[in-house]
Structure 1
Amino acid sequence: MAYGKGTASVHVPEGNLDKIFRVHPWEPLVQPTQAVEQSLLNPIGTPPLQELAQGRRDAVVVISDITRPVPNRLILPPILETLEQSGIPREKILILIATGMHRPNEGEELIELVGEEIAEKYRVENHSGTDREAHVDLGISEEGVPLLVDRRYIEADLRILTGLIEPHLMAGYSGGRKGVLPGVCSLETMKVMHGYKVIQHPLTVVGRLDDNPFHLTALRLTRQIGADFIVNVTLNERRELTGVFSGDLDQAHRAGVAELEKFVVDEIEQPVDIVVGCSGGYPLDQTFYQCIKGMVAAKEILKPGGTIVFASHLGEGMGSEPFQQLVNELTTPQAFLESLEGPDYRQLDQWMLQDHCNILLHAGEIQVFSEHLSKDWLNKALVVPIESLDAGLERAFHRHGPEARVAVMPQGPYVIARTMEPMQV
């Protein structure tokens, strides 16, 4: 099982094992740098980046934050070189980290994100979703979404979004429009887009774009705000570059999603009693807030009342202070969800706890193995601390009996696990 920058082991009896879900074998690009360069020259649905950049006074290049394993050291140099060759001075190029509502990435973390050379030679700055004055108010959309967008993005003459296309628990797939929304939008925007009603909608789910209210609204609003060019990539299980999809916000993103789906979607005939899962390792399993995404993936193939046996490194603890406060106040999942129904918004980061509570109501028990987060915090999150995955599995067999069916997800939310038979809830 992926665990931090290493692995955690589990031993599942062969007679109980129904399936191991993995990303299907996917060969990396032989010449990844050349692939990025060719993608900029031959994009999908737009003129080449070099042509778009000519005559522009400045540019913003939006990148994902440290929670996403985007190969920035590979994709940024060709983009930056193209911009400079097209006449945009280096000092007029801003690399903007799309933190959304996450914390800033600074110091050694910033160097890990973009590489030492880019960190030294270019202006790299963090978005701050809670700094209202740093945003331009574009009014309220027809869906009732307040549009407050990072001023540096709005004022840039050329806007480029980069990102990784991977399964996403709300948006269907990451990448594309998510560079703007939530990437460089204000908390006021996300109060609605990550509000109770949007998350509880039955089509706000992983692996779905069509009819997904989050995706459709985010795409329309990002088009309204403006994005000139995207560079999205896909990775295999070894995090090697497998595809580059550049050009139009929707067309290039859709092309990448179509390719990704061939490798990350897998099925099992019916739900199982026990799912052994994780959050796919570093960087997604560093906080409890982020690791919930792996639990959401496991829920999709778990019988109601089943058990999730989960491994997560959690080296950075629970997550933000607002998230910790919400967990401290958590009594029951029902009570928390009811607290959101009225105002639709209580506090920053409530959305992930909302998803966590939905999983708690579906599963009979969630067990978590972590060598770094205290049992006290795990208990507050209403999960059962375990000493090892094997110990957790033994406990799960005690709950469900020796014939219990087990599925294993060693790569967590990077795989979309589905059942052939509809889930009986």
Structure 2
Amino acid sequence: MTNAAQGTSSYGTDPGTPERALRVGGIGEHLAPEQVRAFVGKALARADVDGRRVCLVVPDGTRTCPLPLLLAAARDELAGRAAEVTVVIALGTHQGMGEEQLARHLGYQPGRAEQTFPGWRILNHESWLSETFTTLGTIGAERLSELTGGLLSDESVEVRINRHVAEADVAIVVGPVFPHEVVGFSGGNKYFFPGVSGQELIDLSHWVGALITSAEMIGTRGITPVRALVNEAASMIPAERLALCLVVASGTDTLHAAAFGTPEDAWAACAEISAETHISYRDRPVRRVLSVMPRKYEDIWTAAKGFYKLEPIVADGGEVIIYAPHITQVSVMHPHIAEIGYHNRDYFLGQWDRFRDLPWGDLAHSTHLRGQGTWSETEGERNRVTVTLATGIPEEVVRAVNLNYLDPASVDVAAYEADPDTFVEPHAGEVLYRLRS
């Protein structure tokens, strides 16, 4: 295992060609609902779904996406054509969505999914149940080394996926593309891996991203090592794979653009637009950032986006404050985080024998929220910026996981906005901030 590397091309089975995707919209455009419905109808009319079992893989509530509009359009086009339709919520390792959450997210009245989507099955990806999965095969050590540019040279990984995806005739991803800390830009095949995949590939792919570091990976265009790994795993899915990829106006249900085709082609088309839409540049660093987290982020595991999408504009020695009074837990689904705490990459690599047997996905998340830094036996851990939680998590818990604490009741957002040394992001989590230099 090497410490760091970055790859942006020549990886994977198919890098994707934007021109091959069917597209609507573009940078700065705002699509009307009727345009979106017409596009979905046109796209699915071209798909070979007649008499076939269709599985729609869609995001959970942590992603902004006008799913009610999209799924209603898909319902109308698939009616009388698909033999059956199953919707799987791509939770990854997030907690499951309850009936009221699902109803609001997908666009039906609680308890009345059948009336809105006749004959459809709507399922959480239940990563906590072994019967959720089927095994597609293994990516061996030699191939894994090729895909990751040598970051991992002595590992192999079993590829497991939600059985409803594997057993479908056609698997269609429906979801947005945003800058992403692990893969560069989210979307496309990432909804299969890690969205509905087994833990093995989730842990390994996230650790590859952590080795590169979130600061280097996030918003990187092209086929990064993690995207290469995701594409390789997706090529093992027996179903025909398609994707309706989206570029969403952050914090809204409005689309800038949509693309349909193979997951590689549709993702590539939307990643180009996301790179010009979801990355905001500033001329100089700031001393402090206040990240105001939307309520859709229910724990720090998901709200960490408020750190790594703002950290690039913070000056050395500065601070990121995650302001989320509604959050009361570090991680609902990953209790190891409370034991591991938050540390930079070198902290783990410098003591690898101590940490190698812990879940690598948890180690990766730890580095994502702690950011850049160093560790040595003599000087210990040194981090580039301070991370402060102003949440409903008790102070003793916050400090135990190696983060700073701020009483959320003391936070005056208007005062921070008036402070020339502070940048306030009122809807943190989706837009990536960078310095022009």
Does the 8 A contact of 1:295 with 1:359 survive in 2?
no
Query: Are residues 1:380 and 2:400 paired?
Result: yes
Does the 8 A contact of 1:164 with 1:174 survive in 2?
yes
**Cα distance per residue 1:391-411 (max 9 Å; x no partner):** 599999xxxxxx984433333
CA distance in 2, matches of 1:179, 1:417: 24
2:436 paired residue number: 420
CA distance in 1, matches of 2:104, 2:317: 41
Q: Which secondary structure does the structure 1 equivalent of 2:72 belong to?
A: helix
CA distance in 2, matches of 1:164, 1:146: 27
Task: Pick closer, same or farther for the CA change 1:101–1:366 going to 2, 3 Å.
Answer: same
Gaps of 5+ in 2: 1-26, 145-155, 374-381
1:312 paired residue number: 324
Which of 140, 155, 171 is the aligned partner of 1:159?
A: 171
Q: In the TM superposition, what is the alpha-carbon distance from 1:33 to its structure 2 partner? A: 3.9
Q: Which secondary structure does the structure 1 equivalent of 2:70 belong to?
A: helix
Q: Which secondary structure does the structure 2 equivalent of 1:412 belong to?
A: coil
2:313 paired residue number: 301
Q: Which secondary structure does the structure 2 equivalent of 1:182 belong to?
A: coil
Task: Pick closer, same or farther for the CA change 1:38–1:357 going to 2, 3 Å.
Answer: closer
1:138 paired residue number: 136
Task: Pick closer, same or farther for the CA change 1:238–1:357 going to 2, 3 Å.
Answer: closer
1:53 paired residue number: 49
CA distance in 1, matches of 2:260, 2:331: 33
- Which letter maps to 1:36? R
CA distance in 1, matches of 2:322, 2:247: 26
2:87 paired residue number: 95
TM norm structure 2: 0.76
CA distance in 1, matches of 2:399, 2:218: 27
CA distance in 2, matches of 1:228, 1:170: 22
Does the 8 A contact of 2:331 with 2:337 survive in 1?
no
Does the 8 A contact of 2:371 with 2:385 survive in 1?
no
Query: Are residues 1:229 and 2:224 paired?
Result: no
CA distance in 2, matches of 1:329, 1:260: 34
- 182-191 vs 270-279, greater mean Cα deviation: 270-279
Q: In the TM superposition, what is the alpha-carbon distance from 1:383 to its structure 2 partner? A: 2.4
1:264 paired residue number: 278
CA distance in 2, matches of 1:389, 1:269: 32
Q: Which secondary structure does the structure 2 equivalent of 1:300 belong to?
A: helix
Does the 8 A contact of 1:131 with 1:186 survive in 2?
no
1:183 paired residue number: 195
Match runs of 1:115-130 below 5 Å = 115-116=107-108, 119-120=113-114, 121=118, 122-130=120-128
Match runs of 1:26-45 below 5 Å = 26=28, 28-30=30-32, 32-41=33-42, 43=43
**Cα distance per residue 1:237-283 (max 9 Å; x no partner):** 4513222222221211121122222222222233332222234x131
Which of 105, 111, 116 is the aligned partner of 2:103?
A: 111
Does the 8 A contact of 1:129 with 1:186 survive in 2?
yes
Query: Are residues 1:355 and 2:347 paired?
Result: no
CA distance in 2, matches of 1:71, 1:356: 28
1:288 paired residue number: 300
**Cα distance per residue 1:104-155 (max 9 Å; x no partner):** 1122122122132572342111112243343222221121332111111101
2:21 paired residue number: none
Q: Which secondary structure does the structure 2 equivalent of 1:309 belong to?
A: strand
Match runs of 1:55-74 below 5 Å = 55-56=51-52, 58-74=53-69
CA distance in 2, matches of 1:389, 1:295: 20
CA distance in 2, matches of 1:409, 1:96: 32
Task: Pick closer, same or farther for the CA change 1:418–1:327 going to 2, 3 Å.
Answer: same
- Which letter maps to 1:257? A
Does the 8 A contact of 2:209 with 2:364 survive in 1?
no
Does the 8 A contact of 2:169 with 2:240 survive in 1?
no
Q: In the TM superposition, what is the alpha-carbon distance from 1:50 to its structure 2 partner? A: 4.8
Q: Which secondary structure does the structure 2 equivalent of 1:318 belong to?
A: coil
Q: In the TM superposition, what is the alpha-carbon distance from 1:338 to its structure 2 partner? A: 4.5
**Cα distance per residue 1:70-97 (max 9 Å; x no partner):** 22111011212222232x24xx211111
Match runs of 1:311-350 below 5 Å = 311-315=323-327, 317-323=329-335, 325-330=336-341, 338=350, 344=356, 346-347=358-359, 349-350=362-363
CA distance in 1, matches of 2:92, 2:343: 28
Q: Which secondary structure does the structure 2 equivalent of 1:129 belong to?
A: coil
Q: Which secondary structure does the structure 2 equivalent of 1:193 belong to?
A: helix
**Cα distance per residue 1:198-257 (max 9 Å; x no partner):** 312158611113252111221232233255221122222451322222222121112112
Query: Are residues 1:240 and 2:240 paired?
Result: no
Query: Are residues 1:172 and 2:184 paired?
Result: yes
Q: In the TM superposition, what is the alpha-carbon distance from 1:156 to its structure 2 partner? A: 0.6
- 61-70 vs 310-319, greater mean Cα deviation: 310-319
Does the 8 A contact of 1:68 with 1:164 survive in 2?
yes
CA distance in 1, matches of 2:414, 2:79: 59
TM norm structure 1: 0.78
CA distance in 1, matches of 2:228, 2:300: 28
Q: In the TM superposition, what is the alpha-carbon distance from 1:177 to its structure 2 partner? A: 1.1
Aligned residues, how many? 376
CA distance in 1, matches of 2:240, 2:312: 33
2:5 paired residue number: none
> Highest relative contact order (Cα 8 Å, sep 6+), 1 or 2?
1
CA distance in 2, matches of 1:123, 1:268: 46
Task: Pick closer, same or farther for the CA change 1:338–1:293 going to 2, 3 Å.
Answer: farther
What percentage of residue pairs aligned between the two structures are identical?
18
Q: Which secondary structure does the structure 2 equivalent of 1:349 belong to?
A: helix
Q: Which secondary structure does the structure 2 equivalent of 1:310 belong to?
A: strand
- Which letter maps to 1:105? M
Does the 8 A contact of 2:175 with 2:244 survive in 1?
yes
- Which letter maps to 1:119? A
CA distance in 2, matches of 1:270, 1:148: 45
Q: In the TM superposition, what is the alpha-carbon distance from 1:308 to its structure 2 partner? A: 1.6
